[in-house]
Amino acid sequence: MDRLDCNRSYDCFTGSGIADEFVAGFILEQYGNKDLGDQEIKAAIISDRQVSGYYYNAFEKQFVIRNVKTCLITVEEGEQNKNLSQVNNVIKEFTEFGLGSNDWVIAFGGGSVIDIAGFASALYSGGSRFIAVPTTLSSMAETCCADKVYTNSGSRKNTASVKVSQSAVFIDPVFLSTIPKKYIPNGYAQIIRYALLADFGLLTDLLNIAGSSPSDIRVFLNRVYAARAAIDRKNPVLLTLGNELSEAIEGYFRFMNYSEGEALALSLFATVPDKARTALTAIYTKLNLPTELKDVSFNSIMNSLKDTYGKGHSAGKPLVCYEEVGGKGTWAIKDPSREEALSILEERLGHIAGSSSAIAAKNGES
């Protein structure tokens, strides 16, 4: 078992098989020699049906052996289900389980599961300590560095957030072998964003691990976290690169047609300078990422953006744009007016919506 350098105050452990072997042991270590008397140690484990179906029986054994009482709470995975209704259901389960401040919440799944579990843990009045066991590349890349969790509202993405503080994160590469094909790009897109902002070498590393299930991804993830930390130090707002267009795409389809990673990949492809798009096309082809937005017209997405920018959630937000300064390219944070922001996003959308759609839009057609 190794430690990852996630630049946070808590431990992030990695190693093949650690999820089934060390999580319960870590929990017991936190009590030291404290005499708990007759008090039970409880752990509420939040997961989705697919992950729990594959892995829960093996995961639970370590708690049974150590006399830690567990309760499995299943939630619906996916961005379309990441809402306050599910959070409320989880909190009800905490109450029925009798979860207390001496007990634990364990998020066992991908990003949406971790958001729901973290949100419920943060809001639950009984108190609890939080451990994350991410099972997708995207959640492995994000969870170790995240200080907030989010929920969606209808077709609007990440409209509510709370701060979360993990006690530990356990990253087990074994889980990567069972990720549904549709969700594999989620991890790729987030890492491509880090690469564009801070470390182009990540693109080569990503191509090397894509499609495989490495037994040890410590070096790769440490490089991912180092890039994330460098971006944070420069300006955390840079991490919103591509969000506007990707959120419009996800929201238009109510999180159904395009996964979070596919939508972000499309937005990043639309946002990079023209000279970089050819090289990025080759990378996207190898990673099976989309470069063209299908099943929707140019005008439909633009109308969605206009609606969003007319409301508080996006109005007045900064926009990350590529600029040439002194012959060198850089990512800059702009504070455009609503009209300027929509003009920038309209140009970006033209790169992925297809030339025929763009021409139709200019002619006022739908």
Q: Please tell me what DSSP assigns to residue 83.
A: B
Average per-residue pLDDT in the chain?
Answer: 88
Do residues 99 and 126 lie in contact, with contact meaning Cβ atoms separated by under 8 Å?
yes
pLDDT reading at 354 higher than 90: no
Strands 319-325 and 166-171, by their bridges, are unpaired
Whether residue 315 is predicted with pLDDT greater than 70 in this model: the reply is: no
Per-residue confidence (pLDDT) for residue 74, from 0 to 100 = 97
Contact between residue 220 and residue 209 where contact means Cβ atoms under 8 Å apart? yes
Measured in degrees and rounded to the nearest 5, phi and psi for residue 324 equal -100, 115
* Cα angle, residue 282 at apex, residues 281 and 284 outer, rounded to 5°: 65
Residue-range domains of the chain with CATH: 2-179 (3.40.50.1970), 235-362 (1.20.1090.10)
The per-residue pLDDT for 208 is 84
Sorted by sequence, the CB contacts under 8 Å of residue 103 that are 6+ apart come out as 41, 42, 43, 44, 128, 129
Averaged pLDDT, 4-8? 83
Distance CA 62, CA 176 (A): 21
CA 347 – CA 338 distance, rounded (Å): 14
3-state helix, strand, coil in the chain (%, to 5): 50, 20, 30
> Which residues, at least 6 apart from 141, have a Cβ–Cβ distance to it below 8 Å?
187, 190, 191, 194, 221, 224, 228
**65 burial type by CB count under 10 A (0-12 exposed, 13-18 middle, 19+ buried):** exposed
The per-residue pLDDT for 254 is 83
Question: What are the two backbone dihedrals, phi and then psi, of residue 309, each rounded to the nearest 5 degrees?
Answer: -75, -5
Burial (0-12, 13-18, 19+ Cβ within 10 Å), 177: exposed
> What pLDDT does residue 360 have?
46
The per-residue pLDDT for range 238-267, each reduced to its tens digit, is: 999 999 999 999 988 887 888 889 999 999
Tens of pLDDT along 63-116? 999 999 999 999 998 888 999 999 999 999 999 999 998 899 999 999 999 999
Give the Cβ contact number of residue 171 at 10 Å.
28
> d(Cα 352, Cα 298) in Å, to the nearest integer?
9
d(CA 133, CA 110): 8
Residue 7 φ/ψ region, left for φ over 0, alpha for ψ in the -120 to 50 degree band, beta for the rest: left
What is the C-alpha separation between 253 and 43, in angstroms, rounded? 36
pTM (two decimals): 0.88
pLDDT > 90? residue 196: yes
